[in-house]
């Protein structure tokens, strides 16, 4: 049950680009981590470049520009480093394929937590005591 937030600069194709980025991240999660295909919870936000709400530099020698996309994924702990690296690569490739986003502009963070940290509705902790993904 990943929860995904995607932030990017807006433009003429905000909705189409955001949808494409959301699909790219979801497809990568399904392909690399085995997330169920109907397990999609995303918040997609476009920011106006003139408003200056997204900030970035060339940290670690990666030149970023206004095409930057911030992807924050919260998920339950348990993936290997290799799985995470495969996820990052696949997100970057699919973001380029689906949304035309240069891979150097795809910035991904993962935050892991435990089963008790999730309520999927009805005020219940559905994952407590279950073996679900």
Q: How much is the pLDDT for 48?
A: 79
% of the chain residues with pLDDT over 70: 92
Q: How much is the pLDDT for 95?
A: 97
Instruction: List residues with catalytic annotation.
Output: 2
Spatial CA neighbour of 32 closest among 86, 68, 106, 80: 86
Question: Which strand (E) or helix (H) includes residue 90?
Answer: helix 81-99
Total residues found in the chain within this entry:
133
| pLDDT exceeds 70 at position 13 | no
Distance CA 51, CA 59 (A): 22
Distance CA 94, CA 99 (A): 8
Q: How much is the pLDDT for 99?
A: 95
Model confidence over 103-123: pLDDT tens digits? 999 999 999 999 899 888 999
Beta bridge partners of 43: 5
Distance CA 115, CA 131 (A): 9
Q: How much is the pLDDT for 11?
A: 60
Burial of 1 (0-12, 13-18, 19+ CB in 10 A): middle
Distance CA 98, CA 6 (A): 15
Strands 69-76 and 106-113: parallel
């Amino acid at each position: 049950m990943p929860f995904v937030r995607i932030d990017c600069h807006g433009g003429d194709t905000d909705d189409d680009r955001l949808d494409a980025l959301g699909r790219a991240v979801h497809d990568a999660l399904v392909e690399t981590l085995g997330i169920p295909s109907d397990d999609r919870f995303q918040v997609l936000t476009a920011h106006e470049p003139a408003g200056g709400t997204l900030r970035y530099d060339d940290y670690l020698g990666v030149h970023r520009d206004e095409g930057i996309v911030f992807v924050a994924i919260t998920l339950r702990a348990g993936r290997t480093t290799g799985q995470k690296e495969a996820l990052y690569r696949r997100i970057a490739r699919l973001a380029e394929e689906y949304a035309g986003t240069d891979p150097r502009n795809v910035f991904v963070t993962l935050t892991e937590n435990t089963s008790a940290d999730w309520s999927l509705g009805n005020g219940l902790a559905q994952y407590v005591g279950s073996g679900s993904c």
